[in-house]
Amino acid sequence: MHYQDAPEQTAASSVAAGIVNPITGRRFVKSWRIDELLPEARALYGELASLLGVKLWHDLPLVRTLFNRGDENDWLARSADAGYATYLDDHPPLGRIPDITQPAFAYAGVRHSARVDVSLLVSTFRDLIAAENRLIARAVDYARLPQDYDRIIFCEGWRSRFNPYFAFLPSGGNKGEVLYVTTEQATLDRLFKHRVFLVPQAEHEYWVGATSQNNFTDDTPTPTARQYLTDRLREVLTVPFTVTDHRSAIRPTVRDRRMVIGRHPDQPRLYIFNGLGTKGASLAPLGSRWLLDLLEHGQDPPPEVDVRRWSAGAG
């Protein structure tokens, strides 16, 4: 298998924090298919870590703030649901959170959360396939696709919207911007969500984000987003911090907020795996399993992710 990639193009994976969060949103709902996603993710990232000789999966409990009595009541109602018992912690240990952040109305904990070092995964895997002479470092020319391949799989992120073969897909993009900051105080030993996500990285360093913007003209960082994130962080932290980096990228989205997997309806050599949005770290392992089942065994992916749900207008 050969891979083609344009190194000058910024990918969302290079900016992503790799958060695996089983409970999302203001209504505290389980992430889609999380009971299937988690074991698949642990297994695949473990295999990749062994192959590449790096640590990719970091188990980190998540603590999120509840802003008022309404939030607390909603959380407790979820806690009473037996289907959520595995993931919710009404009295989570806070670790060092009170030492560096403003006190909150209440705190809630999410179990089985984690951070995947996506950037390290991409860079080390890229180095491996380059060393094996299996990487073609240039952009795809759609008018000159190679004819000596049995199958071509497009995994283009938000740039899938420019792919003429899959123009029938309702592909979009969502721009996200993040900050990297350092503090002199000890690093948190858990994920923390309070207005923004604080994700511990190296010693004294955090990933802070992320913004969400559906209307954008490019993928470059903006002063407006930097100011927004800095202001939110000042509302959270009680200790000084230094911004060391500001990055941005565009997440691939699909109208119905489900990833897209499958074979082109008219050109059986062409496949697509795309639209992972904001949850790529957790979705990619199970999605890749479905893709492999299709490629090797002809087994169709679940209807809610199958490309055929959009292919009526293909030609």
CA distances in angstroms from 306 to 104, 129, 263, 275, 315, listed in the order given: 42, 29, 9, 12, 17
CA distances in angstroms from 252 to 44, 145, 178, 246, 292, listed in the order given: 22, 23, 17, 20, 21
Supply the pTM of this predicted model: 0.92
Name the nearest CA neighbour of 30 among 69, 86, 97, 76: 86
∠ CA(150), CA(151), CA(154), 5° rounding?
A: 160
Tokens 């955090």 map to which residue?
206
Joined tokens for residue 263: 């074979």
Evaluate whether 30 touches 22 at the Cβ level (below 8 Å).
yes
Delineate the domains of the chain, giving CATH numbers in brackets. 19-116 (no CATH), 140-170+255-313 (3.50.50.60), 172-254 (3.30.9.10)
Question: Phi and psi for 102 in degrees, rounded to 5?
Answer: -65, 145
Give percent helix, percent strand, percent coil of the chain, each to the nearest 5: 35, 25, 40
* Residue-wise pLDDT tens digits, 65-78: 999 999 999 999 99
Residue 104 is given by DSSP the state -
* Residue-wise pLDDT tens digits, 208-237: 999 999 999 889 999 999 999 999 999 999
Average pLDDT of the chain? Answer: 94
* Residue-wise pLDDT tens digits, 95-116: 999 999 999 999 999 999 999 9
* Residue-wise pLDDT tens digits, 142-200: 999 988 889 999 999 999 999 999 999 999 999 999 999 999 988 899 999 998 999 99
